[in-house]
């Protein structure tokens, strides 16, 4: 194993700093890239000085990885070498020697309209007694499915982000990107109920800046606890708990909006996707409707009808 040359780690840090400042990469993304690049340097030494044969050897060392893991590691290295070329640290880009595993984005798990309705009805029934935990869960469920929030965005939602006179949430998503997310009328009503209970839980002695604070602490409800609460609710609603999670509800939000005729660009904005290619995964669920739309609305549909003779018309008559 070749030792990393002095300064190699600082180049990695420079690259990661660029990702954070210029591209707004999230902390989890930066941490994953750091692990991948440091792991590669342990195999082949100084990444800045590596040549094509070194990267070929690295690919062989990684050959036992799953395709998705291998693709992520190779992507990190390709971006690193692009950075090195841009910064004048080297004249060539050796990343062509890295493998290009064929990966396929998995289709999201889906909940039907009926499944979501059963979840909401169960949550509403349990919240009728106005128990704080039940009202909180109903409010969080409404925001997951009604606004398409990520689990992290929801649990870390600041109290100040909840609207007072406008039906929007100010959400900070991946990479610190901010967006406005609409809140339905029914979600606003449940949030108003929850804020009454929140006011009783939060005091000067137990301050919290979060909309959904954890009990007895200044922090917020954890993603793990949210996951557990949803699965427990699914079981009580008679739904297979393994099919339900915060992210599955986000998928349901996107899928059902698209089925209802939402524009893909609008959906991209609502979900906070930086790349529309991420949003396009949802188009598979509505392919039949899209085909019908093309057949019904495309300008050439009338031309086809004009060129098609009535049944029974002879070839001579058409001439």
At residue 104's C-alpha, the angle toward residues 100 and 105, to 5°, is 125
Residue 251 falls within a domain, yes or no? no
**DSSP character for 242?**
G
Q: Which segments of the chain does DSSP mark as H helices, in order?
A: 8-22, 27-44, 52-61, 67-86, 113-127, 132-147, 151-155, 185-201, 223-236, 246-259, 264-271, 276-279, 287-297, 300-307, 315-318
Tokens of 223: 């993603």
Domain-located, residue 283: no
- Evaluate if residue 316 carries a pLDDT over 50: no
- Residue 138 is part of a domain; what is its CATH number? 1.10.443.10
pLDDT, mean of residues 67-80? 88
d(CA 31, CA 140): 29
Residues 34 and 68 in one domain: yes
CA distance 91 to 87: 10
Q: Of 6-15, 123-132, 263-272, give the lowest mean pLDDT range.
A: 6-15
Domain assignment present for 281: no
55 and 134 together in one domain: no
- Residue 38 pLDDT > 80: yes
Task: Please say if the pLDDT value at position 304 is more than 80.
Answer: no
Q: In terms of pLDDT, which residue wins out, 25 or 14?
A: 14
Q: Mean per-residue pLDDT for 33-52?
A: 92
Residues 190 and 92 in one domain: no
The better pLDDT of the pair 170, 311 is held by: 170
* Same domain, yes or no: 75 and 117: no
How much is the mean pLDDT over the chain?
Answer: 82
- Give pLDDT, residue 72: 87
Q: What are the φ/ψ torsions at residue 111 (nearest 5 degrees)?
A: -115, 140
Cβ neighbours, 10 Å, residue 193: 16
81 with 130, same domain: the answer is: no
Same domain, residue pair 122 and 215: yes
Q: Does one domain contain both 80 and 190? A: no
Residue 175 sits in the same domain as residue 128: yes
The Cα–Cα gap between 60 and 74 comes to 12
Is the model's pLDDT at 2 over the cut of 50? no
Structural domain contains residue 306: no
Tell me which of 227, 245, 263 is where a domain ends: 245
Tell me, yes or no, whether 165 lies in a domain: yes
Q: Among 8-12, 127-131, 235-239, 266-270, name the most confident range.
A: 235-239
Q: 169 by DSSP, 3-state: which?
A: strand
Q: Residue 114: what pLDDT? A: 93
* For residue 3, pLDDT beyond 70: no
Contact 55, 74 (CB under 8 A): no
Lowest mean pLDDT among 13-27, 77-91, 189-203: 13-27
> What's the pLDDT at 86?
84
121 & 91 share domain: no
What pLDDT is recorded for position 278? 76
Contact 180, 271 (CB under 8 A): no
| SS3 state at 309 | coil
Q: Is residue 265 part of a domain?
A: no
Residues 140 and 226: beta-carbon distance below 8 Å = yes
Tell me the range of 6-15, 96-105, 158-167, 181-190 where mean pLDDT is highest: 181-190
pLDDT of the residue at 291: 66
Domain boundary among 220, 245, 270: 245
Higher model confidence: residue 249 or residue 205? 249
233 with 127, same domain: the answer is: yes
With 0.85 as the threshold, say if the pTM is over it: no
Q: Distance between CA atoms of 37 and 112, rounded to whole angstroms?
A: 41
* Residue 246 burial (10 A CB sphere; 0-12, 13-18, 19+): buried
Q: What is the pLDDT of residue 190?
A: 92
Last residue of a domain, one of 97, 130, 149: 97
Phi, psi of 232 (to 5 degrees): -65, -40
Structure tokens at 251: 């998928």
Six-digit token string for 300: 């050439």
| Same-domain check for residues 208 and 138 | yes
Residue 314: band (very low, low, confident or very high) from pLDDT cuts 50, 70, 90: very low
CA-to-CA distance for 248 and 246, rounded, in angstroms? 5
pLDDT higher for 175 or 273?
A: 273
Hunting for tokens 């050897």 — which residue is that? Answer: 57
- Residue 200 belongs to some domain of the structure: yes
- The structure tokens listed for 135 are 């009202």
Residue 42 domain-assigned (yes or no): yes
Domain count, the chain: 2
Q: Any idea which residues carry the catalytic annotation?
A: 150, 174, 247, 250, 273, 282
Q: What is the pLDDT of residue 315?
A: 46
- 37: domain CATH number is 1.10.150.130
CA-based nearest residue to 176, from 21, 7, 1? 21
Q: What's the pLDDT tens digit per position in 227-251?
A: 999 999 999 999 999 889 898 899 8
Structural domain including 69 reads 8-97
Per-residue pLDDT at 203 exceeds 70 = no
Pairwise CA distance, residues 178 & 161, whole Å: 11
Same domain for 241 and 121: yes
d(CA 203, CA 206) in angstroms, rounded, equals 5
């Amino acid at each position: 194993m070749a030792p990393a040359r002095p300064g190699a780690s600082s180049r990695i840090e420079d690259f990661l700093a660029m990702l954070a400042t210029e591209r707004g990469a999230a902390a989890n993304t930066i941490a994953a890239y750091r692990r991948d690049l440091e792991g590669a340097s342990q195999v082949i030494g100084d990444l800045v000085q590596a040549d094509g044969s070194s990267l070929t050897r690295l690919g062989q060392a990684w050959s036992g990885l799953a395709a998705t893991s291998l693709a992520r590691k190779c992507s990190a290295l390709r971006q690193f070498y692009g950075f090195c070329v841009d910064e004048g640290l080297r004249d060539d880009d050796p990343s062509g020697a890295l493998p290009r595993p064929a990966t396929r984005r998995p289709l999201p798990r889906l909940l039907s309209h009926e499944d979501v309705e059963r979840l909401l009805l169960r949550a509403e029934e349990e919240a009728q007694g106005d128990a704080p935990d039940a009202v909180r869960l109903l409010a969080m469920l409404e925001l997951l499915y009604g606004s398409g929030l990520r689990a992290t965005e929801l649990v870390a939602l600041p109290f100040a982000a909840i609207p007072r006179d406008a039906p929007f949430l100010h959400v900070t998503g991946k990479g610190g990107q901010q967006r406005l997310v609409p809140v339905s009328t029914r979600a606003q009503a449940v949030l108003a109920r929850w804020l009454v209970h929140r006011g009783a839980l939060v005091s000067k002695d137990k301050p919290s800046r979060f909309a959904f604070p954890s009990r007895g602490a200044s922090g917020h409800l954890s993603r793990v606890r949210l996951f557990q609460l949803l699965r427990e609710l699914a079981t009580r609603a008679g739904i297979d708990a393994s099919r339900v999670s915060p992210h599955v509800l986000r998928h349901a939000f996107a899928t059902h909006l698209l089925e209802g005729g939402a524009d893909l660009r609008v959906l991209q904005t609502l979900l906070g996707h930086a790349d529309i290619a991420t949003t396009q995964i949802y188009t598979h669920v509505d392919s039949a409707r899209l085909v019908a739309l093309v057949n019904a609305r495309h300008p050439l549909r009338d031309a086809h009808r004009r060129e098609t003779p009535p049944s029974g018309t002879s070839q001579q008559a058409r001439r």
